[in-house]
Amino acid sequence: MAEALTVPLRSQRNETIGDFELPDAVFHGPVRRHLLYEAVKMQQANRRAGTASTKTRSFVSGGGKKPWRQKGTGRARAGSNRSPLWVGGATVFGPLPRDYSYRLPRTGRRSALQSALALKAREGKLVVLDKIELEEIKTKKVIRLLADLGLQSALFVIPAADPVLEKSARNLRRVKVLRVEGANVYDILRFEHLVVTPEAIAALAQRVGE
């Protein structure tokens, strides 16, 4: 039987309070890197605007009259100045507005999220705090918290809405705060460290189907 995976339980001042045992179903499973790739690709595809557009012959203005007669001019035959061969003419097989979004199967999305969480734990990039509390909405408070924890880039996953923390961190480029229901593979991998509380871990475990 695999040994239980434990990490230090810390305070906001980076003092070790004790050990915290991570749920096996979330952090002890295999890291399926192909699913991480597929999940990130899906998220990036879903964020594409899909607004690239070009004009085919039916959308280019002009071209109602044959530019010159068919024979006798010494020039090539031409039937319309909307031809793709002409400057200002149409585009052949150019991009048109489309929807790039798609979804992986539910089990695949759930396994990808579990793999991302397990990867952070095994790399030593998972930080478990007993609580995350700020006295007031102030960006400097989050900067101070990161400095105390010795972190440069961090994703905070919280179990419920926390307007003070969310508003304090929203202007920091290397920090992001997400609620458990918004936790995703792309952001977990994008930030160097994942900062959570025991309550957030319990909610994540429930989400991945423990």
pLDDT, tens only, 122-150: 999 999 999 999 999 999 999 999 999 99
Question: What band does 121 get if pLDDT is binned at 50, 70 and 90?
Answer: very high
pLDDT at 24 over 90: no
Mean pLDDT of 5-32: 90
Share of the chain above pLDDT 70, in %: 98
**Strands in the chain per DSSP E:** 6-10, 16-21, 126-129, 154-158, 175-179, 193-196
Mean pLDDT of 15-37: 91
Residue 153 buriedness (CB in 10 A; 0-12 / 13-18 / 19+): middle
Share of the chain above pLDDT 90, in %: 87
Mean pLDDT of 173-178: 96
pLDDT at 1: 43
pLDDT at 3 over 90: no
Which tokens go with 176? 């992001």
Nearest Cα to Cα of residue 137 among 177, 168, 174? 168
CATH 3.40.1370.10 boundaries in the chain = 7-32+105-207
pLDDT at 210 over 60: no
Domain spanning 7-32+105-207: CATH 3.40.1370.10: yes
pLDDT at 78: 92
pLDDT at 77 over 80: yes
Q: Supply the mean pLDDT for the chain.
A: 93
Q: What confidence tens digit (pLDDT) does each residue in 37-65 have?
A: 999 999 999 999 999 999 999 899 988 88
How far is 195 from 158, CA to CA, in rounded Å?
9
pTM value is: 0.84
Q: What confidence tens digit (pLDDT) does each residue in 97-117 have?
A: 999 999 999 999 999 999 999
pLDDT at 62: 86
The neighbour count for residue 99, using CB atoms within 10 Å, is: 9
The C-alpha angle 58, 60, 63, rounded to 5 degrees, equals 85
